Structure 1
């Protein structure tokens, strides 16, 4: 029965990928926002209205380059075309491939059920893409939200989706004493915040409810969501009522302070100014704002830059904000993949051959860990491949990547992702009854259908690696997703898992509860309990998802929480 229903679904949705432009087959949809009227397009294949390339800020070019985003301060006459995706913000590495990039990129894309409009008050999902704060864009076809909207209508839980662009790389996260003194740090995070304020002010015109917004992201997108939870001392300005954090929270990634700039990002700034001929200028930052785009783009390309403690968006380490209760009061759904550390850019491949290598690797973490802390971590993470990542692979060592590769992959996955997920869900679940909102936790435990995940982990071991869950969440129709680098695959049970996962996310956005009736009637799924009712994870797995007590490697994950400050998180 399940396979029959799946075939029907494929035939009904085949060949419905969203291109940059689509001809409208019905009346042209419009929306009146504060700055004027937008003209969108109708997507007849999925019976949706789309508004693409909608500006939420002034173009960050000219003297607005390398500054915090400025709100739109003008209106336009007549109807503004919103039928084409805007440019993606300039990025680098694999996640920037295939995107049309430009400095002028501060736009967002909206998908809604057809004919929705003011007064419908649909819950809103806001997607914040990942990419290591170095790349990504709302136009990335892997993040096509139209299938989520389509499924939400079929589930009778209609939602509206918004995908936002924000500046990345040096354009969004250049950091130095000069940037700090100019008040221009964490540009990309301020881009996201301004987009959320625009949504709050304007989403009603599209049929959305500004009081039912859920922000969601994966990897750097989830780190961003986590930072919004602790930003401005936890004052989220009522911009969102819920947060979805996939493989990332505010707890885990190292965050440098202004005082640490001389040994962190200042050398990068100095390298950039030297490369483009600004190092001798009286005002090097003013000079960077005048450098031709091509020259600055080349200068930024080699570097990875991430958010800092700027004293504005982030006033203190996230762990201290959690300890002081300075965290937004919202509902939370958070989770991770079992084998996060097998991602090529996470796990220390080809570097850990013996105990000395592993000790040196641990010593270098965060601000540098003391001998006692290193000894404890070596004890918690012994050179025992049966306890290493990928988990459940027994005595296999994958020694082509170093004899102690699995040991290092477990350390990285736990410290950056898993420990923060557990600490975050425990924090929200432990709030007093009168303040506690719904809290749900999951573990994704399925590997890519062909054992490869492009751009993430293309050489074994892969298993349930970082980013493996993204294609299941977006549940893009397999018939149109085969050319994507993150395809669900051909197997019916994988498609069923995608339907379960995307339906859970839709249900959470709609009513703050991921439990729902699956589209396939004979699919048996357990009740997903609120984390406050004993601390459980919902484990997503093809051929049988289930619920587990969240006591998975409790000693290891708990210890990271005792050294957050040393880890700069």
Structure 2
């Protein structure tokens, strides 16, 4: 373990090489493989932060549109780690407010003060979502200090790490040229290299590289899922647990290499044409020379998703799972009751008739045949009392589409709920580690979820749980709200997440009056999080519907 020494005016060399120690003095220094970092004391918390730490060589020039390369340079003197780096370029609402640029492959570490020489703390690693088109550790919604504070308050201190990774076309561009250059799924390789950096360096901060939990929501949750099946399930000891919130892992249609010609290749060709690289002998090499702003402008608005590259994603994830080629780790997984009232998941204003719903389903995955579509429509009849938002009775929200609720129920089950249950069931039957599942059932305090859904119906939509699990008291775009019951729920959830990362058991949260969260292997149940009362339910809602989606993953392209 590397030496960590905190100095006041000079570096103290009184600590054993095998005993990292953190003391409440300034400035905090830590020595990792590349040299010494200078951190800071987090304002308002008994915490130390080291921000903007490079885990990869800057992906500039000839390193643009390539898999990341390790950052192997030695620091010149003491490197400042008191400010976040640029966020990776993105577009859309989840890029708002972020200072973006290509030199972005960094991570941020937050840890409690007063770590003892004998401490080897568990590590919780955050992978942000954002539809694979935007996101960054600098997003104030992902303030890790409240999580770390909760860990200290319950006597289960952890270290948190938040990682930046490339999104949009800079992270997931796909084409035949990309495949020849072995440059597919850059975003996922960025994350993987960050995990390798953590394994090699986190002990210098007082962390235990054998006790890493990877954590993500939405596209971040999907990313966690891809790490589970990456390289045929070979995790290389990079993590011992996975925490997946509203992951679209098994409901996300992804392309294969044979499909590129009719999917991403025309988009790639349009991009090369837009920046003047279409006649180059090596168009990908040409893209690496294009001025950043020009390339960025050509990529804005284009969404690329991970693809089956035969390596990181060796086959459809459902096929990897069926073959047992998935990492055996502890799992905490769940979803929100009304996931797909989110405007980017379910069309608004267009699902009015059976024909509209039929057309919508015909575009699912690789294309659903008539019999499959009929089965879906039978499983999800046009009955608003059965639609999403659930529990809203005969109200149709017809201004959003006469059959919007029907479409939202189909979308939420196929994209999120079915995959969540499928993965939980797989691990319960085949894994050797603990499995826990939840359902989040608390709508936002003002029934608004900025960047996700602000026009009714909103209810317990996608992303609503984020401010609760981060226990984020800041009045930003995703705020808990003014009600004490909401604050209590946030304390419970954040501390349960910490307890899972620390003990592989979310029940050691220290919050009174909460039922025991059953282990899914012995009791297939959800803990149901609500501000008024948290309860436990048997995980059997919409059994036939969710089982059906789990039987056609191949048709869905996942």
After TM superposition, the score normalised by the length of structure 2 is: 0.95
Q: Is the 8 A contact 1:25 1:43 kept in 2?
A: no
Tell me which residue corresponds to 1:19: none
Q: 1:517 to 1:328 in 2, by over 3 A?
A: closer
Tell me which residue corresponds to 1:475: 471
By how many angstroms is 1:25 displaced? 8.3
Secondary structure at 1:353 match in 2: coil
Tell me which residue corresponds to 1:405: 404
Q: RMSD value over aligned CA atoms? A: 1.2
Secondary structure at 1:454 match in 2: coil
By how many angstroms is 1:289 displaced? 0.4
Please show how residues 100-499 of structure 1 align to structure 2 within 5 Å: 100-116=99-115, 119-431=118-430, 435-477=431-473, 481-482=474-475, 484-499=476-491
Tell me which residue corresponds to 1:557: 546
Distance in 1 between residues matched to 2:515 and 2:155, nearest whole Å: 21
Q: Is the 8 A contact 2:24 2:113 kept in 1?
A: no
By how many angstroms is 1:79 displaced? 1.0
Tell me, which stretches of 5 or more residues in structure 2 are unaligned? Answer: 1-22
Per-residue CA deviation, residues 232-258 of structure 1 (Å, 9 max, x unaligned), is 000011000000000015311111001
Distance in 2 between residues matched to 1:34 and 1:120, nearest whole Å: 20
By how many angstroms is 1:506 displaced? 0.5
Q: Is the 8 A contact 1:49 1:115 kept in 2?
A: no
By how many angstroms is 1:118 displaced? 6.1
Secondary structure at 2:215 match in 1: strand
By how many angstroms is 1:509 displaced? 0.3
Q: Is the 8 A contact 1:88 1:138 kept in 2?
A: yes
Tell me which residue corresponds to 2:521: 532
Aligned partner (choices 538, 541, 544) of residue 533 of structure 2: 544
Q: Quick check: 1:63 aligned with 2:62? A: yes
Tell me which residue corresponds to 2:498: 506
Q: Is the 8 A contact 2:172 2:186 kept in 1?
A: yes
By how many angstroms is 1:524 displaced? 1.4
Q: 1:459 to 1:221 in 2, by over 3 A?
A: same
Q: Is the 8 A contact 1:276 1:291 kept in 2?
A: yes
By how many angstroms is 1:567 displaced? 0.3
Secondary structure at 2:540 match in 1: coil
Tell me which residue corresponds to 2:16: none
Per-residue CA deviation, residues 247-285 of structure 1 (Å, 9 max, x unaligned), is 015311111001111121111111111111111111111
Secondary structure at 2:169 match in 1: helix
More divergent stretch after superposition (70-79 vs 390-399): 70-79
Per-residue CA deviation, residues 470-514 of structure 1 (Å, 9 max, x unaligned), is 00000022xxx11x1000000000000001100100000000000
Distance in 2 between residues matched to 1:195 and 1:149, nearest whole Å: 20
Distance in 2 between residues matched to 1:458 and 1:261, nearest whole Å: 35
Q: Is the 8 A contact 1:499 1:518 kept in 2?
A: no
Tell me which residue corresponds to 2:508: 516
Q: Is the 8 A contact 2:499 2:509 kept in 1?
A: no
Tell me which residue corresponds to 2:48: 49
Distance in 1 between residues matched to 2:509 and 2:305, nearest whole Å: 40
Distance in 2 between residues matched to 1:558 and 1:394, nearest whole Å: 24
Q: Is the 8 A contact 1:225 1:249 kept in 2?
A: no
Q: 1:526 to 1:143 in 2, by over 3 A?
A: same
Tell me which residue corresponds to 1:34: 33
Q: Is the 8 A contact 2:124 2:212 kept in 1?
A: yes
Q: Is the 8 A contact 1:118 1:204 kept in 2?
A: no
Q: Is the 8 A contact 2:443 2:464 kept in 1?
A: yes
Per-residue CA deviation, residues 347-386 of structure 1 (Å, 9 max, x unaligned), is 1211111001101111110000111111100100101111
Per-residue CA deviation, residues 376-435 of structure 1 (Å, 9 max, x unaligned), is 00100101111100000011111111111001101111111000000000000001xxx5
Per-residue CA deviation, residues 133-182 of structure 1 (Å, 9 max, x unaligned), is 00000011100001110111010000000000000001100000100110
Q: Is the 8 A contact 1:25 1:44 kept in 2?
A: no
Distance in 2 between residues matched to 1:495 and 1:438, nearest whole Å: 28
By how many angstroms is 1:44 displaced? 4.9
Distance in 2 between residues matched to 1:247 and 1:44, nearest whole Å: 31
Secondary structure at 1:127 match in 2: strand
Per-residue CA deviation, residues 97-156 of structure 1 (Å, 9 max, x unaligned), is 111100000000000001437642100000000000000000111000011101110100
By how many angstroms is 1:328 displaced? 0.3
Q: Is the 8 A contact 1:105 1:165 kept in 2?
A: yes
Distance in 2 between residues matched to 1:264 and 1:544, nearest whole Å: 47
Q: Is the 8 A contact 1:118 1:205 kept in 2?
A: no
Q: 1:187 to 1:217 in 2, by over 3 A?
A: same
Distance in 1 between residues matched to 2:117 and 2:143, nearest whole Å: 24
Tell me which residue corresponds to 2:10: none
Tell me which residue corresponds to 2:7: none
